[in-house]
Structure 1
Amino acid sequence: MNINLIEEAKNYLETFMKDKVVEYEVTHPWRRNSRYIVLHCYRVCSIAMEIVNNYENELSTEDIELIQVAAILHDLGKVYSRGGHAEKSGEIVEKWLELNPSVAKLIEDKKRLINIIKDHSNKGVKDDDLVSSILKDADLLDELGAMSIFMVSNRLDRQTPYFFEELYKMLKEDEVTYCYEELKKLQTPAAKEILLKKIKFINSFVTELEYELKGSSGLTANK
């Protein structure tokens, strides 16, 4: 029976995360369900493949498969803690491969896969390995853009009448600045182009929100 490496990685991600709770999450309630980590990993894989499309001549079939497997499994350790989760994720994947030799033999360079996963949190650190760069960039790009608006709004007091004014202020003064700081950490031109499009979207939302708030602009809870 032929084994599909990508499907095996997905099956392991789904099985490993089943019914787990992310106890340390207190800001965003949807992150407490480990299913959110699964969805994040799938999104990162999709973003990574979007970046891959710009490097067809530099990446082998094995590289592309490695990127997908690394993206799918890169956050397994995050169910336990946010800090040090990359190292933990690599250890979990290493153990999985040890227990599943039929899957392990499909990976040409297992050590490379483990190292890429363990290092994925070191954003902004220049990589010699393009596969590692793509994973880091794809991971950084998730939750930026349209999701930024929801992430920021969830940190605000939804009971205050100044909710939209505060949202406007945080998006304009903090989130856009944050996105530009993240832009400096990206290693691939393709990822930078994606983030610039996301920043353009946030700015367009801020402009529209500013228009809709005219008349109440300048009013805050301190007045």
Structure 2
Amino acid sequence: MRPYAAVFAASLIALAPVAGAQSPPPPPRPHASSWLVPILHGSGLLLGQRVAAMRLWPHAFSLEDGTRNLDHLAVAYSQPPVFDPRRRLFEWDGDRWEINFFGHGLMGSELYLRARQCQHGFAASLAFTAAGSVLWEYGVEVWNSRPSVNDLLWTPLGGALIGELRFVTWELAASLSPTVRGIVRAVVDPFGELERALGTPC
């Protein structure tokens, strides 16, 4: 065999495993943006909160006194939201600051995070969270209490702050091993992970 033929044959033998090896599959394409999943998630969240509030504070959140409930509704739509600047920060509506700060902040972060995971940007997710806050104040809680400036402002703002931290952590977990990734994401977004396990696309 001539020298150049031997070199050519050796090159083919050396390249054979590379040519035969399958290239790694391309990364999955991100799903299209969706509002259906965040809306369904948010609706379930508000309904769940309403039921929980009726269980924990039956007198304050009762719907059994129709006249009283309608009176609250009339006041809510005829007067501005509650705001008492003489009270401490996050207690402008008379509720304890822990409920306003943590409760409404976490509620907002659930709405914000779900929108971000479904391919929506910061502004759209913030607007979605603000809409959810208005719906809660003027559509769900309105039957028992007057809407609050504190809640209307902090739910979207605190929700965006906490929600963005949760979203970044959830995304960074993609680089971890499957087991660790599953644990981190379950801690950061337990409801979302359950919904995705049941088949939601985002």
Same fold per superposition (TM over 0.5) = no
> TM-score, with normalisation over the residues of structure 1?
0.29
Point out the structure with the larger helix share: 2
Find the structure with the greater CA-based Rg.
2
